[in-house]
Amino acid sequence: MGKPALRFAGMFRELGPVGLGLVQESIFDNVSAEELPDVDEVVRYLKGGYVLIDMMDLADDPFDSARQVMNGSTIRTDGDWLWRDDLAYHVHRHRVALPDEFLALIRERGYAVPHRDEELLRESSLVAEELVF
């Protein structure tokens, strides 16, 4: 089948380096002035993605040094996009913006992560491994 063409969200430089030559933006440059009107549904979608790499860690909150996110660097997917588990936290707590294309796709899907077959998820996990290891 080959590696799927995945897009990436939430791989901000303050959260640590990644591979694949991905250019990392600053999380601080990706804060919205207002909360999404459908933030709860978007966060539910992000939390509902398939886990490709389950990390047991505490990720620091770049906005609040007194806070950490458990398993923040866990990698999730919907088959089209890859994101860190703590992206849901940052979207909800700090109004961190998603890429416009990703947000539009989440809404088009009615906030439901689509079913993906095991082969696609296995191939996606290879991309995730190159991203984080």
How many distinct helices (H) and strands (E) make up the chain? 4, 6
pTM over 0.75: yes
Taking every pair of Cα atoms in the chain, the longest distance, rounded to a whole number of angstroms, is: 45
Residues in the chain: 133
pLDDT of residue 56: 94
- Mean pLDDT, the chain, integer: 95
Residue 118's pLDDT band (boundaries 50, 70, 90)?
A: very high
The token pair at 64 is 């609040």
